[in-house]
Structures are given as structure tokens and as C-alpha cells.
A = this chain, B = another copy of it.
Amino acid sequence: MAKLEDRAPAPKGSLNDDIGEEKRLALYRTQVVIREAEQRAYDLFLQNLVKGTSHLSLGQEAVAAGFAGAMRPGDLSFCTYRGHAHTLARGVPIVQVLGELMGRDIGLMRGKGGSMHLTSVEHGVMGSYAIIGAHLPIACGAAWRAQYKGAKDVSVCFFGDGTTNIGAFHEALNFAAVWKLPVVFVCENNLYMEYTPISDVTAVKHPAADRAASYGLPRIVIDGNDADVVYRAAIEAYDKARAGGGPSLIECMTYRYSGHSRADPAKYRPEGELERWKERDPIKLYRERLRAFGVGEDAILRIDAEVKREVDEATEQCKAAAPPALDILTTDVYADGGFAWRN
């Protein structure tokens, strides 16, 4: 747990502080939804019911829950290939996410996008982008529209530590800073790119935060495994953005439990690293906090059971669901609904 020294101490507080019971239960539920749905996705790979690739956020649930939990309707999320968590956290039904992973007609995009491209405009999930860095400038654009229109929504852009070394990161951060755009850049530092430790290929210790000054922004590193910490950091950044204060760059320290993607057994990790991170498992930690704040065990168990049932039901629904109609192969290339490039 090399980076523990950067963490804020566990938050003080009580059930009815600035976050409050209702929000806390929601943050808990979101984390459990992600955990259960991701674990189910993994089981479905093993059964060969999820084809292609898939990138799980097991271990990183608090980041997604905290940032989404602090959003208002109308705020926009921009995700990566590792986007199931952020998509679910905005309230997209589990069945649509699993359905997409399984290539079913009930999938969020009827199987056309797949695991790496989850999009639900209705829920403010403006796409999941599979080319490293591409969505940072795109999020700037959405924020520019908000600024131009005088809308009060915030664009929130999630990406990994490895993404901080690609050119688009730099261009987007400078652009957002100069134009004072209402965009929040969230770096989920899970210590690894695909298989290579970020520290092997980065000139600074904190790949995002240590570069904030390059864009005139404050250095922010937070404990990404504590949903309360994440939630508070999100609120602060959103408030700043809505008030015309410009962008924020927040580096969240966290860890992914499974391999980078379906294909990866993650053997490159030093012994014990995973286990040490699991001691600070975001869900375990949050459950303990709820208990410590006096939330009853039954309330917690109820959430666990409800989510479990939801995931089970979604799984069955997906298994029974039809594949997409083959004629959608050529729909929606152009706005006229088709793919005609000639007369």
C-alpha cells in the first residue's frame, strides 16, 4: 500500500452530518450494485456468455459511487472502457448493462457498442471511450456548451493513471483551464496501466495531481476507497465548476482487484499487494462506517439482498433475451438512420 501516506484520514462525522443518512445509504447501495454486477459479469465471462473484452472496477467502486452520488440530474459523465461502474452509478438499469455485455437486444446499445462503449444519454452517461485520452477534450466540449448556454450542469470525466501520459490529457487540461470550463477531471489511480506499474513510466509520483500546477490548478489527491471522501471532493469541485470557477483535477488513489481486462490474470502484481488493498476494501470500509454511525444491520442486509436479487433477475432476463435483429448492422451510421454514403 505504497500510497497510503497520501490518504486523508478517515472522515470524522456522524450519520446526520453534511452527507446524511439517506445519501449514505444511496452511496452504499451504488457500491454494492457495482460490486455485484461486476462480479456477475465476471461469472458470465467464465460461462462464455460475455464475449469480447471487459474491464471491471472491482475495488474501485467508491470513486464511481462518490462522484455520481454528488451529481445532479443533467450532469454529464464521460467514461472509459472501464465504464460499467460509472454507468451503473448514474442509475442505468443493470439489465441493460449486462445485456450489452452479452450482446443482447435489450442491451443499452443493442449490442452495437459492447462493454467498452456503454452510453445512456438519458442518464447523462455521454459515452464510454476506448481510445486512451480521447474523452477528456470531448468532456471539455460538453462543458463549453454549458458555459455558452449558461446551463449549470457539470461534465465529469473519468480516466486512469496511465492516461495522464498521453497528449490529449495535456491539451484538454490546458484548454479547460484557459476557458474556465465547468469540467471535473477524475483520475482513478489504480497504480497500473494495463500491466505496467504507472511509476515505471511516469516522471512524477502522482501522475495527475503532480501536474495540476501545469494548468494553474490546485493539487488534489484523495482516498478513492472512501466514498465519503470522494463524495465531498466531488461536491466541492462541482460547486466550483457551477460557480464559474473552472475545472478541477482530482486524483483518487484506489486499486483494481481483477486483471486489467478479461484476458489478464494480473500476475505482475507484487505478492501481498492485492491483499493489503483488500483490507481497505471500499465496501467493507463503508459498511463498517454505517455500522459505527448506528445504521442497523438489517438495513444494510436489506440493501445487499435487494441488489443481489436485482442482479440475479437481470442475469436471467439477459440469458433469456433475444440477440439483436441483424438488420441493425447498418442502422445509425448517419442521422438518417442508415449507412448510405451514395445515391
Binding site for B on A (CB under 8 A): 165-171, 173-174, 177-178, 200-204, 210-211, 213-217
* List of B residues within 8 angstroms of A215 by Cβ: 203-204
Number of copies of chain A assembled together: 2
Chain B nearest Cβ from A67, distance in angstroms: 23
* List of B residues within 8 angstroms of A169 by Cβ: 167, 170
Q: State A138–B65 Cα separation when bound (angstroms).
A: 42
CB nearest to A167 among chain B residues: B167
* List of B residues within 8 angstroms of A178 by Cβ: 200-203
Q: A216 touches which one: B167, B203, B213 (CB < 8 A)? A: B203
Q: State A214–B169 Cα separation when bound (angstroms).
A: 13
Q: State A200–B179 Cα separation when bound (angstroms).
A: 10
The answer to whether B165 touches A177 (Cβ under 8 A) is: no
The 29 sampled A-B contact pairs (Cβ below 8 Å) are A165-B170, A165-B171, A165-B174, A166-B170, A166-B171, A167-B169, A167-B170, A167-B171, A169-B170, A170-B170, A170-B171, A173-B203, A174-B201, A174-B202, A174-B203, A178-B200, A178-B202, A178-B203, A203-B215, A203-B216, A203-B217, A204-B215, A204-B216, A210-B213, A210-B214, A211-B214, A213-B213, A213-B214, A214-B214
CB nearest to A204 among chain B residues: B216
CB nearest to A170 among chain B residues: B170
CB nearest to A213 among chain B residues: B213
CB nearest to A137 among chain B residues: B167
Chain B nearest Cβ from A198, distance in angstroms: 11
* List of B residues within 8 angstroms of A173 by Cβ: 203
Q: State A171–B177 Cα separation when bound (angstroms).
A: 19
* List of B residues within 8 angstroms of A200 by Cβ: 178
* List of B residues within 8 angstroms of A201 by Cβ: 174, 178
The answer to whether A167 touches B165 (Cβ under 8 A) is: no
Q: State A200–B178 Cα separation when bound (angstroms).
A: 8
Most buried by B among A178, A203, A213: A203
* List of B residues within 8 angstroms of A177 by Cβ: 203
* List of B residues within 8 angstroms of A165 by Cβ: 170-171, 174
* List of B residues within 8 angstroms of A210 by Cβ: 213-214
* List of B residues within 8 angstroms of A217 by Cβ: 203
Q: State A166–B211 Cα separation when bound (angstroms).
A: 15
Most buried by B among A170, A204, A213: A170
Chain B nearest Cβ from A297, distance in angstroms: 48
CB nearest to A176 among chain B residues: B203
* List of B residues within 8 angstroms of A167 by Cβ: 166-171
Q: State A204–B214 Cα separation when bound (angstroms).
A: 7
Q: State A210–B216 Cα separation when bound (angstroms).
A: 9
* List of B residues within 8 angstroms of A202 by Cβ: 174, 178
Q: State A203–B212 Cα separation when bound (angstroms).
A: 10
Q: State A211–B214 Cα separation when bound (angstroms).
A: 5
CB nearest to A133 among chain B residues: B167
CB nearest to A172 among chain B residues: B167
Top 9 A-B pairs, shortest CB-CB distance: A167-B167, A170-B170, A177-B203, A211-B214, A203-B216, A203-B215, A214-B214, A174-B203, A167-B171
* List of B residues within 8 angstroms of A216 by Cβ: 203-204
* List of B residues within 8 angstroms of A171 by Cβ: 165-167, 170
